[in-house]
Structure 1
């Protein structure tokens, strides 16, 4: 499905029980709403809303990087949620989607009943770190534009962050690869420039204001994000951090059954 939201076409999927508690799922960089398809059955008791983030899936890829910025993404999502009649809901975000979930919650804490964050961060603390990251993301964006989506996907699936995915069955790896290949290269480049970790605000100081229950999910093989989650947990008032054994950055792909169990437990009244 698509809807015109604030001047751009936004793609989204719905699944599960239309009368169930709403759960919004935000995918990561190079993903789409299709990234969550296998959880439709596992979480069928809930009303599932799965948007394509700006520049991904069926959502338009605006030319201006500024249109991908955190405040724009938050405004787009809020307008979509209003269109869908969502006044209060649970919010789950993975990696880039987790960063956007953190940004959305900072802007609209009254709408988020429960927050679930997988392998993500509130951003970089210093302007020096953010500037360095913007430079590296800019170079990667230029690579996508110059070499195309297939060459970028070959590069992206071989970065150390996704090393543990090489153990996945071939069918699963092909599904992930096809999801990445289905994205518009200009959309991915714009996303890197506009909503990369170096481009977003730092939300570390906001965490202490999050009054809703927060669940953090990480894999033991993803040491960087385990450490980030542990630091986040020290700043969150109501938090539960679950680390899944023998999983890397993409827990929902590497151990989907365990991931679904954690999510269902986090969503219990």
Structure 2
């Protein structure tokens, strides 16, 4: 399925972000947030299946065609949350829906809990809860992050002789996804350099987080959400979304849709994209 897609740039006070724009000008406003190391192409198959929506699919900071954060700045969940609010303000959207996958779904949930007056609805794909740790793990976590930051200065970006080699590398790393999905992400995520191609993503995105929320923190954010929530859980997706948090989900007013497919089911193939779109029909009915 193909529709008209507009490439836009958003000049925020602290960074410039790129995005794909779908849908009519008078459509319901939706900000779409992709997963870690992905980009706006994550929604290339899904967005055309959500009619009546004005979808701005961002390249999150450090991803795709968006800018990288300044030296010394970070890529924490709350940094992305601020970016999203700044984008909404620039677009003139006081209230809007959030469509998120994986990392983007986690950011969307935290934002909906923190500023519930701004968020109309959440549509989440295989993500909702952040990775957590207990307080006693924090010193070790920070130490690992600091050492990794210092070591990054001596690392070089990988260079692939061809786009195909880069796609193969993506297929070998991270969560499983289809070749077509990897090719779509690579079409926006690669840049030509001497000797071949490398990923546009900021290398700092691969560093460990200096601090993680505790489970109590994460649960507090989820319980603070006041808008309707639809959560798609991929049956072959991230185990954390199917395991330890399921009991909490049962106690929350969240509509859970269990759908066959992997973590990138909305991008892997046309059938997966349609299955996810069918779960999110309520987006178009938002007030």
Fold equivalence (TM over 0.5)? yes
Superposed CA RMSD in Å reads: 3.3
Task: Tell me how far apart the structure 2 counterparts of residues 219 and 197 of structure 1 sit (CA, whole Å).
Answer: 25
User: CA 1:132–1:144 in structure 2 vs 1: closer, same or farther (change >3 Å)?
Assistant: farther
| Structure 1 residue 266 displacement after superposition | 5.3
SS at match of 2:35: coil
State the TM-score, normalizing by the size of structure 2: 0.76
Unaligned runs of 5+ in 2: 1-7, 192-196
SS at match of 1:19: coil
Unaligned runs of 5+ in 1: none
User: CA 1:266–1:172 in structure 2 vs 1: closer, same or farther (change >3 Å)?
Assistant: same
Which segment drifts farther, 7-16 or 20-29?
A: 7-16
Number of the residue aligned with 1:263: 280
Write the deviation string for residues 177-210 of structure 1: whole angstroms up to 9, x where unpaired.
Answer: 43443597574322233xx666453422221121
Q: Which of 1 and 2 has greater Rg?
A: 2
Number of the residue aligned with 1:219: 234
SS at match of 2:74: helix
Aligned length in residues: 260
State the TM-score, normalizing by the size of structure 1: 0.81
Write the deviation string for residues 91-138 of structure 1: whole angstroms up to 9, x where unpaired.
Answer: 111111112112222321111111122122233142456666774897
- State how 1:67-216 maps to structure 2 within 5 Å: 67-120=74-127, 121-127=129-135, 135=144, 142=152, 145-148=155-158, 150=160, 154-159=168-173, 161-162=175-176, 165=177, 168=178, 170-182=179-191, 187-193=201-207, 199-201=211-213, 202-216=217-231
- Partners of 1:144 and 1:152 within 8 A in 2: no
Number of the residue aligned with 2:5: none
Are positions 1:242 and 2:249 aligned together?
A: no
SS at match of 1:14: strand
More strand by share: 2
